[in-house]
Structure 1
Amino acid sequence: MNYSAIITDIEGTTSRISFVTEVLFPYAAKHLPDFIRQHQQLPAVACELAEVRKLMAQPQADAERCIAQLLEWLAADQKVTPLKTLQGMVWADGYQSGAFTGHIYPDVAAELADWHGQGIKLYVYSSGSVAAQQLLFQHSDFGDLTPLFSGYFDTRIGAKRDVSAYAAILQQLQMPPRQVLFLSDVTAELDAASQLGIATVQVIREGQSAGKHKTANDFYQVQEMMQ
């Protein structure tokens, strides 16, 4: 089957699920306090701290109180916008300093390059912010992979289990759904995409339960299905 575009998830699909929980989150927890203390006067950081104060309903809270609240949200894995933004800033420092690289499976790096060479447009759709997505692929285990991608989507376009999100993506791609392939490890996300006629493959790397979709253990098997 020939596709004009392939959209891929990240966690559990291109990258190890535990990369976020075992590398990124601990790094943020360790370095976020000092990052805020050192950079709280920068406009971008000050803006996010103002949002933290609004959410706390404590407009006079000092930096240390904001730090404590951010660490509480982080420990509870709360999807709070200023936390995600500040985390992204800390991760950018980590990537750029070489503290870690973005985990990418070897088959992913190989097949993304092959598909790009075939003229297939490649996109990412992940719950992580577009900035975080770009950092991971720019500083990946296999170097800068961002030139392979034509675009990125996050939850600003819609929740990943909602059909409306995939309708919005199709609208942006301006392609018939049958020309688009979506790769994810999560059955509910694939269910939503398939309702619009988007082709789907569930990538099963870490013992996920298979649904009704075609399955592949890696991107090499996805490529075999496409032939």
Structure 2
Amino acid sequence: MAVKAILTDIEGTTSAVSFVFDVLFPYARRHLPGFVRERAGTPEVAAQLDAVLGESGEPGVDLDRAIDILLQWIDSDRKATPLKALQGMIWQQGYEAGELKGHVYPDAVKALQAWHGEGYGLYVYSSGSIQAQKLIFGCSEAGDLTSLFSGYFDTTSGHKREAASYRRIAETIGVPPGDVLFLSDVVEELDAAAETGMKTCGLARQGGELAGHPTVTAFDTIYPASF
């Protein structure tokens, strides 16, 4: 089966891990208390706070405790959907204010543009919220790249180390898993995708190998037609 769609991770794959951990996470942590206090009464924020309290097992606690929980989750890099949603809202403010610019490796920009031109369907799957994904690519240092992508997936589709998530994504895209090429820097994610029959390619930008998968150091050595 030929590759028809390319599904890519962001952190460590299209974009530097340091951008997420050294820029985005500190920005969200710094602005989260004020943002939540200011907007707790809005429907979109209130819904996420309810989800935070439900997931934490502490329903009914006050706003200060909810903020403490969120800050703890940021510090532990917890992949919690309501946290990701709130971070996305905070980052949107930062991007709109010009305080943030999304990092995308130049080799990734060039390859994604070429693959789009060749007719491949391009999709994103990241633990960051769909909103955050669109912001990284829409407000990137290379300009607005969102027109390259046909869809975005986050933890609402399932966890990235579970095969069922990739089956769900392939079904949503509308192609058999064997027609999808998944790109990631995490071997457990690649393993989960491969379990469904997806083709895989690992990104090890500092060198090395992601065991069991073809591994490259940059996008410019990925040739989808060869998979």
Residue 68 (structure 1) aligned with residue 75 (structure 2):
no
Q: 1:71 to 1:150 in 2, by over 3 A?
A: same
Q: Could you say which structure has the larger radius of gyration?
A: 1
- 1:56 positional shift: 5.9
Choose 143-152 or 66-75, whichever is displaced more: 66-75
> Residues of 1 paired with 2:73 and 2:177: CA distance?
38
Contact 2:207 2:217 (8 Å CA) reproduced: no
> Residues of 1 paired with 2:210 and 2:79: CA distance?
27
- 1:208 positional shift: 5.2
Choose 8-17 or 156-165, whichever is displaced more: 156-165
Count of aligned positions? 226
1:211 paired residue number: 211
Contact 2:81 2:129 (8 Å CA) reproduced: no
| CA RMSD after TM alignment | 2.3
> Residues of 1 paired with 2:224 and 2:186: CA distance?
21
Q: 1:222 to 1:66 in 2, by over 3 A?
A: same
> Residues of 1 paired with 2:158 and 2:113: CA distance?
28
> Residues of 1 paired with 2:130 and 2:103: CA distance?
16
2:222 paired residue number: 222
1:57 paired residue number: 58
1:98 paired residue number: 98
Identity %: 49
- 1:195 positional shift: 2.6
SS, match of residue 181 in structure 2: strand
1:166 paired residue number: 166
CA deviation profile, 1:47-89 (whole Å, cap 9, x unmatched): 333444554635251x334323322332232333332222111
SS, match of residue 206 in structure 2: coil
Q: Which runs of 5+ in 2 are unaligned?
A: none
Q: Which runs of 5+ in 1 are unaligned?
A: none
Aligned runs of 1:64-213 on 2, under 5 Å? 64-207=64-207, 209-213=209-213
Contact 1:204 1:215 (8 Å CA) reproduced: yes
> Residues of 1 paired with 2:185 and 2:25: CA distance?
21
> Residues of 2 paired with 1:191 and 1:22: CA distance?
28
Structure 1 runs of 4+ with >4 Å offset: none
TM-score of the superposed pair, with normalisation by structure 1: 0.89
